[in-house]
Amino acid sequence: MTMRLAETRRPCAREQRSLRGSAAQRPRVLFLGSMYAGHGTRFLNLKAHAKNDPRVDCAYRSVTGWAEGGTIERLPLVPAALKGRARAVAEAVAFAAFPRPDAIWTAAATAVTPYLWSQTGRWRRPLVLDLDWTHEQQEALAPLYYGRPPKRGLRRAAAGLLERALWRGVTLFTPWSRWAADSLRRGGIHERRIRVIPPGVDLRLWTPRPRLFSDENGPLRLLFVGGDFQRKGGDILLEVFQTRLTGRCELDIVTRDHVDAPAGAWVHRAEANSSRLAELYASADLFVMPSLAECFGISTLEAMASGLPVVVGDAGAAREIVDEGASGWLVQPTPEALARTLEGALARRSELQAMGLRGRAIVEARFDGRANDRAVIDAVLEAIEVFKGGER
């Protein structure tokens, strides 16, 4: 009883003043996150892991790019894409808010560009830019991501100038991968301003379960998780599933797109980090996402953390996530290549559990969300010190 009283005792007046003083000394950091695709998962994880970090006083704002029923969204005769950009800019206004924070972290590069005036003169603050690709890489992948040819001429030059204007105000860059960091270097960013910090996952949410792969007569359960079904290779997977795997595999598909599921396949809607999504990972035997274009596959991390071997497209930073032949396979996004790999997985199904456990070990070592998000806070604090030292 004495111990409980001691543990719950309220601080005395002197201790309360000390605590208030300690809190006042913590830098006030604005975290302005994008909720687009994997960035949304990254931001949710960062918010969960950083909110109790005693080193910083955090404020969080989200850029969604859409508010159902909002004034912008109800404007007549305005294309939806333009409304989305306008909404994103409106939501990013915290970037220029007063009083100024002590530091800013953001992944919403395009949305904050109209507010670069707030990063001038005495209003300027240490800025950490989180990114999974650059404009150079975005335009190279534009046909697959946006269904359009890469920008050229004046349009390309104007977009590049806007990106460079933002980069000039950045203290530190935190690219998700070496793949993205290499593009920064090609763009003239010095190594001293780059800290590669991949997103991590919550190791408590995504956990392995015992799996029985030795039953040669039972179907192998495949799982696909990708919001953009076609770009993530969903059409390729469905073709292979229907022509080569019927009766030998079952397929769960998690996507926001409409998909006509054939016999033996089911389509699900599941929010990021939801218990429903965790259940689908737990019930699967093999994760398959033969992406045509990808920056960094967070769903691949979730699968590996759940103890699943993975088959993913050899795109973007995939080689920094998957150890080929050990934790899964990297494939070219064609029906022929995917079919060969899945046939090989069926032939080696007794080895899949060990591969999944190797994948879990990789995630624990490289992609622990708590450790990687703590590294983000480290980068913010470093940026503050660099800024104070005049290296901007």
CATH architecture observed for domain 2-200+369-388: 3-Layer(aba) Sandwich (3.40)
Do 281 and 144 meet the contact criterion of CB atoms below 8 Å apart? no
Residue 105 host element (H or E): strand 103-106
Compute the Cα dihedral for 369, 225, 252, 241 and give only its sign: negative
d(CA 4, CA 27): 33
User: What tokens does 220 get?
Assistant: 């192998």
User: What tokens does 175 get?
Assistant: 């690219």
Nearest to 42 by CA among 223, 301, 342, 380: 301
Compute the Cα dihedral for 320, 324, 328, 330 and give only its sign: positive
For 163-213, strand residue ranges (E) read 172-175
User: What tokens does 281 get?
Assistant: 């990972």
Supply the pLDDT for residue 25: 85
Q: What would the pLDDT profile of 197-237 be if each residue is shown by its tens digit?
A: 999 999 999 999 876 544 566 899 999 999 999 999 999 99
Do 267 and 261 meet the contact criterion of CB atoms below 8 Å apart? yes
Supply the pLDDT for residue 98: 95
Intrachain domains 2-200+369-388 and 220-366 with the same fold: yes
d(CA 91, CA 106): 13
CATH for 220-366, among 3.40.470.10, 3.30.420.40, 3.20.20.70, 3.40.50.2000? 3.40.50.2000
- The list of the chain residues with pLDDT below 70 reads 1-24, 211-217, 391-392
The ranges assigned to domains in the chain are: 2-200+369-388, 220-366
Q: Which residues of 90-101 are buried (b: 16+ CB within 10 A; e: fewer)?
A: bbbbbbeeeebb
Nearest to 320 by CA among 278, 260, 366: 366
